[in-house]
Amino acid sequence: MEETVIILHGLGRRGASMRKLATAIEAVGFKDMVLDYPSTSHDIDTLIDVLCAQLPPEGRLHFVGHSLGGILSKKLAKRLDTTRRGRVVQIGAPNFGSELAARAGVFSKVMGPALADLHPHEGEDDSALDMGAIGGTAAPAAYSLITGIDGENDGKVSLRSAFGHASEDKTLALPVAHSLMMQDKRVIKAVTNFLQTGQFSDI
């Protein structure tokens, strides 16, 4: 069965932000498919419908997503028949939402309806997925006065939220910031390792 990695950018970004990662994924033997989607135009449920229509109709599908793309990745994987469902790698995904999303509500006209879906919440059951979660810790502690995020975080998403309900042995914290973490060589190595083995190893 052919294996394809679906790669999804974050809120307000474009597929070009994931090209460096896509090149690395292709280099280790996977077919990659970077999807551009209208992240600021719809709520999450509608974005899932938009993306489902773009997925290959056959073959095993893995997913890699940054930020909002990580949330969409796991939701898309759950829609697949289990025989087609591959691994999911999230990069700075707000699995429990983000305090910053609530504070940034004033920008909803710019960032779109999906922003409201990223307010803090308790997450969802992800136990059916082979999912790895990467979280960043680069934000200075004082930054929490601006963002409202407690504990280690990447400047937009807390480590707790980034890890979500992923198994403890399938989580990885790295000293990276949210906006460019998907282009960091350590993150890229971690992603390719997980796609190949189901573990974050040798980082």
pLDDT digits (tens, 9 = 90+) for 129-173: 999 999 999 988 776 767 778 889 999 999 999 999 999 999 999
pLDDT at 153: 93
Domain residue spans in the chain? 3-174+187-197
pLDDT, residue 108, reads 47
* Residue 109 pLDDT: 47
User: For 3-174+187-197, CATH number?
Assistant: 3.40.50.1820
Residue 121: what pLDDT?
A: 79
Strand residue runs (E) in the chain: 3-8, 31-35, 60-66, 85-91, 131-136, 171-174
Amino acid at position 108, single letter: S
Ranges of residues in the chain with a pLDDT under 50 are: 106-110
Contact present, 181 and 92 (Cβ < 8 Å): yes
